[in-house]
Amino acid sequence: MAPIDVPSWTQLDMDAVCARIRAVAFDLDNTLARSRKPMLPWMAERFSTLTTLLPVAVITGGRYGLVISQILDVLDDHADRSHLHLMPTSGTRYYRWDGDDWRCVYAHDLGVDLRDAAVASLTDHAKELGLWLEDTWGPRIEDRGSQITFSALGQQAPVEIRERWDPDGTKRDALVRAVAADLPELQVRAGGTTSVDISLHGYDKAFAIRELAASLDLPVDRIMFVGDRMSPDGNDYPAAEAGSLAVRVTGPEDTARLCDELIARLS
């Protein structure tokens, strides 16, 4: 199948888009907020307003705790939590608001043996490739239950340093290839700016979009997916392959402009 050329939202007829979509899903890091940082107030206000207009999902490779700190903790008071769909670790977990708290709808966790094998492979190959640094900002490897994540600089590395570490993705790609050869039964993908994610095969943002569509009883193509990593090797690209109306943004400021266009028309 020929690669999908995912357009920037500025290339689209936004009147036609808003007449078509019935839900919108967002990547998190470098789409709604900078990596591991909360949404800034101007984004939180727009995001909260969107939840009053249609169902809104957050589909991220990050763990649920980051969804709390980056999204939930900064929502405006007028946000409609019943319209929110939270899908961390690339959709291997799914949370909904039940009126009192966030309820886990499902969790597709890795078995202990697979998690141990993933940690061992990441450790061995990161050392072989010179990616196992002596000094890091927090743990390098995190067991998220449904996903094992390697962060070369540590989980709490400053954003500016993470963004400079592997700008063309060659370091992460080398680690992905080496680990994937060890673990054919698992899916290994480059995640954020310094990370590699390991999960069960078939559990990516395509899976998440299809689960969201089923939950909302919508055709997949009625869901807009917004992300910054829309090239064929990017972790947002599977959402385009699933058949969503995928659009590309360059960062949170660009996403804010898209939200303004959506809010103006959907209101």
Confirm whether residue 162 is marked as ligand binding: yes
The share of the chain scoring above pLDDT 70, in percent, equals 100
- 136 vs 35, residue with greater confidence: 136
Alpha-carbon gap, residue 68 to 36, rounded angstroms: 11
Active site residues: 27, 29
Confirm whether residue 172 is marked as ligand binding: no
Angle between helices 41-51 and 252-266 (to 10 degrees): 30
- Single residue among 168, 200, 232 that ends a domain in this structure: 200
Whether residue 98 is contained in a domain is answered as: yes
Give the tokens for residue 44.
């939180």
Whether residue 3 is contained in a domain is answered as: no
Same domain, 13 and 52: yes
Same domain, 18 and 96: yes
- Single residue among 177, 200, 223 that ends a domain in this structure: 200
Statement: residue 229 has pLDDT above 70: yes
Same domain, 83 and 196: no
Confirm whether residue 144 is marked as ligand binding: yes
Query: pLDDT tens digits, residue range 9-60?
Result: 999 999 999 999 999 999 999 999 998 899 999 999 999 999 999 999 999 9
Confirm whether residue 244 is marked as ligand binding: no
In this prediction, residue 1 carries a pLDDT of 67
Residue range(s) defining the domain that contains residue 194: 112-200
In this prediction, residue 69 carries a pLDDT of 97
Statement: residue 67 has pLDDT above 90: yes
Mean pLDDT of all residues in 87-100: 94
The H-assigned helical ranges of the chain are 14-20, 41-51, 64-70, 112-128, 159-165, 170-182, 205-216, 237-241, 252-266
- Single residue among 163, 179, 200 that ends a domain in this structure: 200
CATH number at residue 244: 3.40.50.1000
Same domain, 96 and 27: yes
Confirm whether residue 195 is marked as ligand binding: yes
Whether residue 4 is contained in a domain is answered as: no
Evaluate whether 7 touches 248 at the Cβ level (below 8 Å).
yes
Same domain, 248 and 190: no
Mean pLDDT of all residues in 70-85: 98
In this prediction, residue 185 carries a pLDDT of 93
Give the tokens for residue 139.
């743990």
pLDDT band with cut points at 50, 70 and 90 for residue 245 = very high
In this prediction, residue 218 carries a pLDDT of 98
Same domain, 121 and 245: no
Same domain, 17 and 89: yes
